[in-house]
Amino acid sequence: MGMLSFLTGRTFPRGVHPPGLKEATRDQAIRRLPFAPRLVLPLAQHFGKPSRPVVKRHQEVVRGQVIAEADGFQSVPLHAPVTGVVEGIELMPTARGPKTEAILLRTLPGDSQAVRWSSPRDLSGLSREELIRAIQAAGLVGQGGAAFPTHLKYAVPEGHGVDTLVVNGCECEPYLTTDHRIMVEQAQEVLAGIRLALRAVGADQALIGVEDDKPDAIAALQAQIGPDDPIAVRKVKAKYPQGSEKMLIKALLKREVPSGGLPFQVGVVVNNAGTMAQLGRLLPLGEGLIERVITVAGPGVERPGNYRVPVGTPLRYLLEHVGFRGDDASHLILGGPMMGNTVSSLDVPVTKAVSGLVVLPQAQADAAPETIHPCIRCGRCVEACPVGLNPAELGRLAAKRRYETMQERFHLSDCFECGSCAYVCPANIPLVQYFRIAKALNRERLS
Amino acid sequence: MASLGVLLAGVLAFANRRLYVFEDPRIDQLEDMLPRTNCGACGEAGCRAFAEALVAGRAQPAQCTVNSAEMNQKIADFLGVSVGSQERKIARLACAGGSHVAATRARYQGLKSCRAAALVSGGGKGCTWGCLGLGDCEQVCSFDAIRLNRYGLPVVDVDRCTGCGDCVEVCPKDLFSLQPESHRLWVACRNQDPQDEAMAQCQVVCTGCGRCAMDAPEGLIRIENHLAVIDYEKNALASPVAIQRCPTGAIVWLEGKESRKGSGARKVTRKEPLPRMEPLPRV
C-alpha cells in the first residue's frame, strides 16, 4: 500500500466515498450579495470565552470597527460587518440551539459600505508574539467549521516544537466548494497567509493538502509558490473525512496524533485554506474578520454558488437572495451534509465559521428509510471508521445506555462525529447520533 | 493427586479464616425489606448501599421514598431507631407547552429522543426552553410515573413518583426538578424571551408581566429575564392569590394531582397542533 501511494495519492486508512455533488458551484466565481438590512452578531461565534460588547443601543458604528472586544486570551474581538446602528443586544437563536446574546446591527441604507477602520502596516519587523497578538486583534477563527481562534493554535505551549504547518485544502464534504474557489481565486492571499502563519508559529515548512479532484486549485497554488518558499502542495486522495486534521496529518506526514491529544504534540499545526486567505488579506491591512465566503448549494437552491457575505447575515435573507426552491419540509444544513447541523430557525445568522448552507428538499432528505434494523455484525462501520473505533460495539452499548463503558473501554471521546459509520450502515442504525448523545451525557456527568 | 487436593483444601480453609470479612447480617435482612429498585432517590448508590448506611446510622428509614410508610416503620422497629422524617419530593415539569398551545419552528425528523433532537439545533420547538415532547423522561422512569399526554407533554403521576431524579438527569432542557410537596406555587415555564416574542411561541408562556409578583407577598416572586421566579425560602407566604391575575396561566397552584390556573387565565380550547410559526421563504 505505502509503496504504491504515489499512484493512488496519499491518504489515511479506511474512510468512505460519498458523492461529491460539487459540480453546480465549483466552476463559478465567488459573488457578492447585497447587504442584509439587519445583521445578527452572536458574541460567542468562536470556541472559547464570548466577546464583550463595547457598543450601546442606538450607537452608530462604521464598517470594520470593533464592536465587542476579546475577553482574555481565550477569546477574539468582533468587528462591525456593516456601517449602521446598533439596535440592541438580545438573546437570538443559534445553530446549536440555546439562544445566546447577540448584537443586532441595522445596516445604514445608502452607505457605500467601504471599510473605514483599518491600519495598513508593514509586518516584516514583527516578532512572533506581536504577530500572534495581531492575529487575535483581527478576530480570526478557523474558517472550516470548528471556529477555534487561530492565535490560540499558534501559541504553542513551551517545550513543543512545531516543525510543520499543514494547510487543509481538502474540503471533503459533499456540496461545499468554498475553499476550492478561494484557493483558485485568492491563491496569492492564501500563500501570503501561509508565510505569515509560518512566522507566527515558528515552523520550518508548510504543506498544503489538496484533494486530487481539484487540479485547478493545485495549479493556482503552485503558480504562487516562490523558489525560496518552504511551502509545497501535496495531492491527497479525494475521500471522506480527508479534511479532518488528524486524518490529514496522517496522510501527509504519517504521524499519528495521540488519543485525546492535539496536533502540536506531533509538531504540527493545521489551518484551513480559507483561514490562510483571511490571514493573508486582513493582517497587512489591519482589518478585522467581517465577511466570509459561503457555499449555498443543494437541490433546494435556485442559484447555487459561492457568495461573499458579511458575518451575521441571517439565513432567511440568504435564502431569499439565492432563490429557495425547496418545500416546507426542507432540511437546511449549516456546513456540509455529513457533519453539518440542521438549523431550526431562519433567524440563525452566518457566523465566522460557517462554510456552507445546503438545502435538501424533503424528497432528498427522506431518501434514507426511517426504519432502524438490528445490527447484522457486517463490520462495514469498523472498516469505515477513520480513527479505528468499533462503532458496532459502541452502538450496542449506546442502546443499553452504558455511556460510561463506551468512554472507558471503547474510547468514545476519540470519535469526532464524522458520520462515516452511519453513512455505510446497511441496517440504517443512526450510530453517530447515538454517539453524539452519549458524548453530551458524558460531558454533563463530568461537569 | 489426593495430596494436591488436600493441600488446596488447606489453602482454602486458611484463606477463609484469614481473609474473612465481617459483614453485619442485618444488611442482608434490610435489603430484603427495601424495594430493590436501586433508584437512588435516597442519595445512596442503590438499595444495598442504603442498607449499609442504615446499619451504620448514616441514614434514616424514611429517606427511602419508594417504600410504604408501614414498611419504613418496620425497618425502624427492626433497627430500633426512629423512622425519621423526610419530606416527599416530586418531579415537577417547568413547561406546559403541549402541541396545542406551543408552536413549532421546524419539523424534527430523526431519532425519536429528546436528547437527539436537542442536539440538532435545539429541536424544532418554537420556544428554545420548552419541552420537546419525545418522551425520554417517560422511557427512563422506572416507576411508570411519567406519561406523555395527547399533546406530547409529560404528566407526572404524583402517587407513583418517588423522586428518584432520573427524569431530572435525562431531560436535555433541564425542565424537571425535584420539589418538596409543600411547594405548591409553581411556574410552569422557563421562557426568557420578551413578551411579544414569547407570546408568538406559546400561549401558556410566562411573559414576565409581573402581576403575580405584585399580588404575592413582598419578595416571594421576582421577575428575572422576563420570567417569574419563586423564592421557595419564603414558601410559607405562598397562596393561590398569586395565580389569580396571570393572563396565560403559566403560574399554577398545585393541588394533589391537579394544577389549578387562575381565573384570569385565557382558556385554551384548541385540541389540534398549532401551525408552524416560521414558514420558509417563497420565491
A172: annotated binding-site residue? no
Residue A53, domain extent? 34-118+293-365
pLDDT digits (tens, 9 = 90+) for A374-399: 999 999 999 999 999 999 999 999 98
Cell of A224: 504562487
Closest CA to A422 of A437, A405, A407, A444: A437
Task: Report residue A325 CA to chain centroid gap.
Answer: 26
Residues in chain B, pLDDT under 70: 282-283
Closest CA to B164 of B173, B155, B156, B172: B156
Q: Where are the alpha helices (DSSP H) in A172-232?
A: 178-185, 187-201, 215-224
Option in B113, B121, B122 nearest A437 (CB): B113
Same domain flag for A215 and A67: no
Q: What pLDDT was estimated at residue A279?
A: 94
Same domain flag for A297 and A183: no
Cis peptide before A50 (omega within 30 of 0): no
Interface with B, mutate which of A332, A437, A443 (most B CBs under 10 A): A437
Q: Which amino acid is at B138?
A: E
How many other C-beta atoms can be found within 10 angstroms of the C-beta atom of residue A332?
A: 27
In a domain, A123, yes or no: no
Q: Let me know: does A141 contact A45? Beta carbons within 8 Å.
A: yes
In a domain, A136, yes or no: no
Same domain flag for A74 and A156: no
Four-CA torsion B98, B103, B105, B108, nearest 10 degrees: 30
Same domain flag for A159 and A183: yes
Q: What pLDDT was estimated at residue B110?
A: 81
> What is the rounded CA–CA span in Å between residue A65 and residue A80?
5
In a domain, A6, yes or no: yes
Q: What pLDDT was estimated at residue A11?
A: 87
> What is the rounded CA–CA span in Å between residue B140 and residue B165?
10
Q: What pLDDT was estimated at residue A361?
A: 86
Q: What pLDDT was estimated at residue B247?
A: 93
In a domain, A128, yes or no: no
- Categorise residue A421: left if φ over 0, alpha if ψ from -120 to 50, beta otherwise: alpha
pLDDT digits (tens, 9 = 90+) for A114-154: 888 788 888 888 899 999 999 999 999 999 888 899 999 99
Same domain flag for A38 and A23: no
Residue in chain B nearest A317 by alpha carbon: B281
| Record: contact B281-A316, CB cut-off 8 A | yes
Alpha-carbon gap: A150 to the closest alpha carbon of chain B (Å): 25
Q: pLDDT tier at A344 (50, 70, 90 boundaries)? A: confident
Same domain flag for A88 and A46: yes
In a domain, A430, yes or no: yes
> What is the rounded CA–CA span in Å between residue A414 and residue A434?
15
Cell of A159: 517545550
Same domain flag for A182 and A109: no
| Record: contact B193-A326, CB cut-off 8 A | no
Q: What pLDDT was estimated at residue B123?
A: 86
Task: Tell me the count of A-B CB pairs closer than 8 A.
Answer: 85
Apex B198 CA angle, A436 and B174, nearest 5: 35
Would you list which residues of B are annotated within the binding site? 39, 42, 47, 64, 127, 131, 137, 141, 161, 164, 167, 171
Q: What pLDDT was estimated at residue A98?
A: 87
| Burial of residue B48 (number of CB atoms within 10 Å: 0-12, 13-18, 19+) | middle
Last residue of a domain, one of A285, A319, A342: A285
Q: Which amino acid is at A237?
A: K
Q: What pLDDT was estimated at residue A367?
A: 62
Interacting residues of B64 by C-beta distance below 8 A, sequence separation 6+:
B34, B35, B41, B42, B50, B72, B75
Q: What pLDDT was estimated at residue A4?
A: 52
DSSP calls for A325-384: ---TT-EEEES-TTT-EE-S-TTPBP-TT--EEEEE-HHHHTTS--PPPPP----HHHHH
Q: pLDDT tier at A2 (50, 70, 90 boundaries)? A: very low
How many other C-beta atoms can be found within 10 angstroms of the C-beta atom of residue B208?
A: 22
B108 in contact with A, Cβ within 8 Å: yes
> What is the rounded CA–CA span in Å between residue A354 and residue A292?
9
Domains of chain B, CATH where assigned: 26-86 (1.10.15.40), 89-261 (3.30.70.20)
Alpha-carbon gap: A419 to the closest alpha carbon of chain B (Å): 14
Chain A environment of B110 (Cβ under 8 Å): 430, 433
pTM over 0.90, yes/no:
no
Of A4-8, A51-55, A175-179, where does mean pLDDT reach its minimum?
Answer: A4-8
B168 in contact with A, Cβ within 8 Å: no
> What is the rounded CA–CA span in Å between residue A296 and residue A314?
13
Q: pLDDT tier at A372 (50, 70, 90 boundaries)? A: confident
In a domain, A165, yes or no: yes
Same domain flag for A204 and A349: no
How many other C-beta atoms can be found within 10 angstroms of the C-beta atom of residue A72?
A: 9
Interface with B, mutate which of A344, A366, A429, A434 (most B CBs under 10 A): A344
Q: What pLDDT was estimated at residue A273?
A: 95
How many other C-beta atoms can be found within 10 angstroms of the C-beta atom of residue B45?
A: 12
Residue found by looking up cell 421577575 in the block? B223
pLDDT digits (tens, 9 = 90+) for A209-252: 999 999 999 999 999 998 888 999 999 999 999 999 999 999 99
Chain A environment of B128 (Cβ under 8 Å): 93, 97-99
Closest CA to B209 of B235, B254, B246: B246
In this predicted structure, the answer to whether residue A5 has a pLDDT above a threshold of 80 is: no
The alpha carbons of chain B give a radius of gyration, in whole angstroms, of 25
Cell of B132: 420537546
pLDDT digits (tens, 9 = 90+) for A187-209: 999 999 999 999 999 899 999 99
Chain B environment of A319 (Cβ under 8 Å): 280-281
Q: What pLDDT was estimated at residue A159?
A: 81
Q: pLDDT tier at A365 (50, 70, 90 boundaries)? A: low
Alpha-carbon gap: B43 to the closest alpha carbon of chain A (Å): 16
| Record: contact B281-A346, CB cut-off 8 A | yes
Last residue of a domain, one of A242, A260, A285: A285
Query: Residue A149 belongs to a domain with what CATH number?
Result: 3.40.50.11540
Q: What pLDDT was estimated at residue A136?
A: 94
Same domain flag for A166 and A72: no
Cell of A107: 445596516
Residue in chain A nearest B225 by alpha carbon: A91
A375: annotated binding-site residue? yes
Q: How many domains does chain A have?
A: 3
In this predicted structure, the answer to whether residue A347 has a pLDDT above a threshold of 90 is: no
Q: Let me know: does A273 contact A208? Beta carbons within 8 Å.
A: yes
Interface with A, mutate which of B121, B139, B196, B227 (most A CBs under 10 A): B121
B122 in contact with A, Cβ within 8 Å: yes
| Record: contact A346-B118, CB cut-off 8 A | no
Last residue of a domain, one of A285, A315, A342: A285
Q: Which amino acid is at B162?
A: T
Coil, helix or strand at residue A68 = strand
Which CA distances in Å does A135 have to A65, A214, B48? 16, 29, 58
Cell of A146: 470548528
Q: Let me know: does B278 contact A346? Beta carbons within 8 Å.
A: yes
| Record: contact B282-A433, CB cut-off 8 A | no
Coil, helix or strand at residue B126 = coil
Chain A environment of B123 (Cβ under 8 Å): 97, 344
> What is the rounded CA–CA span in Å between residue A378 and residue A65?
56
CA atoms within a 13 Å half-sphere pointing along the CA-CB vector of A428: 10
Q: pLDDT tier at A1 (50, 70, 90 boundaries)? A: very low
> What is the rounded CA–CA span in Å between residue A87 and residue A105?
6
> What is the rounded CA–CA span in Å between residue A135 and residue A68?
16
Same domain flag for A14 and A162: yes
A170: annotated binding-site residue? no
pLDDT digits (tens, 9 = 90+) for A91-123: 998 888 888 999 999 999 888 888 887 888 888
In a domain, A135, yes or no: no
In a domain, A9, yes or no: yes
> What is the rounded CA–CA span in Å between residue A35 and residue A84?
11
Q: Which of residues 63-82 of B touch A (CB under 8 A)?
A: none
Same domain flag for A276 and A169: yes
> What is the rounded CA–CA span in Å between residue A319 and residue A84?
22
How many other C-beta atoms can be found within 10 angstroms of the C-beta atom of residue B224?
A: 9
Same domain flag for A389 and A350: no
